[in-house]
Amino acid sequence: MELQPNKGKNLIMEVNGQKFERWPVKTKLITTDDKNIVPIIKEYVSPHLQPGDMLFISEKAVAVTQGRSYHIHSVKPSRLATILSGFVTKTPAGIGLGSPQTMELAIEEVGVARILIAAALGAAAKLVGIRGVFYMIAGHKARSIDGAVSYAIPPYNEYISKGPSNAEQVAQKISAALSVPAAIVDANDLGVNILGASAGVDCKLMVKIIKDNPLGQTDECTPVGIIRPVHG
């Protein structure tokens, strides 16, 4: 299948005078029946690779293959999760922890004590105009939780997910299988976090290269992308 940028996304990103192509790769719909992301990535990406390429893989796709994605009605939120979710600011990029179900997953991931401390400090910081403190305290496990959104490809418009386990090890396995540097990324239209990376990945540079989320976050079915330096 011929590669092409996703709708509304540019192929080229320039960072510090260097241009990079960002090619999204369409795959089959990854489901909970898939227990290993590596052979899927290898099947769909290998035909397109060139020397000097790097890969970036959606954390949600990895989480699905690890059994860390759940139908929203299968998660029963506690009273605490219901109360705390009401104070979360929702953004156009996703619901985050703004639903009782996603907040319940956050409590499972980082514990009640840490969530309560994060909520208290986050609320205090908002009073003086500082935002983002909740996620700074709660940590990347809470930040990586994805909510159910209507624009996601079915059936994942009704699924919520935790971040992937052992993201760095997964990145290393993908890198070894395809002989290119690879990273697992948590990306949306508000920003990018690198959850795990193999040798050869400059994480700060990668964040800048994919800061506009070239994989998209609706129905593109492109959970992996190729970064390719432009020469000449």
Residue 91 has a pLDDT of 62
The phi, psi pair for 126, rounded to 5°, reads -60, -30
Give per-residue pLDDT as tens, 9-35. Answer: 999 999 999 999 999 999 999 998 999
- Of 14, 2, 8, whose CA–CA distance to 210 is shortest? 14
pTM of the model: 0.90
Q: Where are the domains of the chain?
A: 12-68+163-229, 69-161
Residue 2 has a pLDDT of 84
Percent residues over pLDDT 70 in the chain: 96
Residue 131 has a pLDDT of 85
Residue 9 has a pLDDT of 92
The Cα–Cα gap between 199 and 86 comes to: 41
User: What confidence category does residue 71 fall into, taking pLDDT thresholds of 50, 70 and 90?
Assistant: very high
Residue 94 has a pLDDT of 64
Domain 12-68+163-229: CATH architecture, name and number where available: 2-Layer Sandwich (3.30)
Letter string b/e over residues 206-228, b meaning 16 or more CB atoms within 10 A of that residue's CB: bbebbeebbbbbeeebbbbbbbb
Higher pLDDT: 114 or 187? It is 114
Letter string b/e over residues 133-154, b meaning 16 or more CB atoms within 10 A of that residue's CB: bbbebbeebbbbbbbbbeebee
The Cα–Cα gap between 104 and 111 comes to: 10
Question: How confident is the prediction for the chain on average, in pLDDT?
Answer: 92
Most confident of 6-10, 13-17, 136-140: 13-17
